[in-house]
A and B are shown apart, each in its own frame.
Chain A
């Protein structure tokens, strides 16, 4: 028997390492028992509800090496525990990768952006309300999905890539980073691996309990954005029920290079339509070399939703996604 409402933080250890080596050592030692804590905005609800019960939190925000935005030889590097507000307001990000600044500025609410980190926004867990309620669904290690059924409340759920679980990627910055072809810097006590943004996220067909490919002991420490797409034409839009707090019903992030009215290259990704940010490669291919126009926008919009498999209450996401693609292409 469980009481249906908890909201007090239960006993849990807290570690506040101040240097990288300590943090990696703690992560390695604690493994799955150690919860990586960024700004905590996606953490405390889980813990208060007692729906996730790690033994300890490892706070990453005291490590200066993982904070801040710096210019590198071929782009910029953003520390994973940099706050979303800093990213949204940073002149370098704004001037070169406005797409990310806009996306970061559309996350949740000002206070959440003031505390929430880029790493936390990328690694945040699914927002399916059944899962969040603490039900033992597939994503929670159970054997059932409550959302994917004729009566399930699945208005916010996936159009693509569902496999038993139909939750979507809730992150606003994730599609922006996929569109910017960013690289995730992942460290562990064993070393470092670099993962393209697109491959950082994982869907339920491959891993039904995790949203990212991070293994136990691994920490996302930085995000590198190459200059490849710097100063391209950007389009970011998030459509949500309410203009504050709410997660996207559908979001789009697009980087398009145009020369003389002709699209040279394009990278687009949609949020909230799949468990991972959905890269729209078919649309990109259809755009390359074409004259930018409303007609072109209409043509490629249809391509974007090919293969969509709406659930009972999310058909609207199909026209919405098409419309956002149109808007991105029209600019």
Chain B
């Protein structure tokens, strides 16, 4: 029998997933086996903005969830929770990623940076933040943390981008206010400041 067909049997999704989730662990227990290699422990330590913090993280938890609800870092915004807008962009080992579409457990060994971690210890704004203020890049500001993290990631990889390269670098971030032009102006200015 084709298991793909039976897997989608008519059962309420939630019940199915809850029951099934338990069933794999039960399977291992029933078979007298230890949990297989690779089973995740919930209590983990993650490095966010240079600080190592202990957090209880569910296996399925997204990084955005951990940052916002467990660590109180609400600068990372949920615009769509689908990887379709970019408002939750953070840096994972310097690489811009959508925090709504990355599991916290997947990045527990990585360096995570959010918009809250950019200012220097004495409170000076990061060059990208400074440039965005000077160019008045944000409008409503909801996409701004994501735009900033994408821009910081871009400038780390390419400190002197052309305007076109900057445009490609910010391509994964929607701004519904349409402030793209001002964000690009900001990135170009940041490249000069930085």
B150 to A12, Cβ gap below 8 A?
no
Nearest chain A CB to B17's CB is how many angstroms away?
A: 4
- B83 CB contact (under 8 Å) in A47, A112, A243: A112
A18 to B65, Cβ gap below 8 A?
no
A9 to B96, Cβ gap below 8 A?
no
- Whole-angstrom distance between the alpha carbons of A11 and B20 in the complex? 10
Considering only CB atoms and an 8 Å cut-off, how many residues of chain A contact the other chain?
56
- Mask of B26-67 contacts with A, CB within 8 angstroms, 1/0: 010000000011111000000000000000001111100100
Nearest chain A CB to B10's CB is how many angstroms away?
A: 8
Instruction: Name the segment of B111-119, B121-129, B168-176 touching the other chain.
Output: B168-176
- Mask of A283-311 contacts with B, CB within 8 angstroms, 1/0: 00000000000000000000000000000
Q: A31-B3, A114-B95 are in contact. Are A14 and B82 (CB under 8 A)?
A: no
CB contacts under 8 Å to B, within A4-35, are 7, 9-19, 22-23, 25-26, 29-33
- A10 CB contact (under 8 Å) in B17, B38, B105: B17
Find chain A residues with CB under 8 A from B100 CB.
Answer: 44
Closest to B172 in A: A109
A26 to B36, Cβ gap below 8 A?
yes
B106 to A61, Cβ gap below 8 A?
yes
Considering only CB atoms and an 8 Å cut-off, how many residues of chain B contact the other chain?
50
Find chain B residues with CB under 8 A from A7 CB.
Answer: 81-82
B84 to A245, Cβ gap below 8 A?
yes
- Mask of A47-64 contacts with B, CB within 8 angstroms, 1/0: 110110111111101100
B40 to A14, Cβ gap below 8 A?
yes
Find chain A residues with CB under 8 A from B40 CB.
Answer: 14-16
Which has the most chain B C-beta neighbours within 10 Å: A17, A32, A210? A32
Closest to A50 in B: B13
Taking the complex as formed, is B86 at the interface, i.e. its CB lies under 8 A from any CB of chain A?
yes
B36 to A41, Cβ gap below 8 A?
no
Find chain B residues with CB under 8 A from A13 CB.
Answer: 21, 24-25, 39, 59
Taking the complex as formed, is B139 at the interface, i.e. its CB lies under 8 A from any CB of chain A?
no
- Whole-angstrom distance between the alpha carbons of A13 and B18 in the complex? 10
Name 18 A/B residue pairs within 8 A (Cβ), A-sorted: A11-B18, A11-B58, A16-B38, A33-B7, A41-B83, A44-B62, A44-B100, A50-B14, A50-B17, A53-B13, A53-B17, A54-B17, A59-B103, A115-B102, A141-B7, A210-B4, A243-B171, A244-B171
16 additional A-B residue pairs with CB within 8 Å, beyond A13-B39, A44-B100, A141-B4: A7-B81, A15-B39, A17-B37, A22-B36, A32-B3, A32-B7, A41-B83, A47-B60, A54-B17, A57-B59, A61-B106, A108-B83, A110-B172, A111-B83, A112-B172, A136-B8
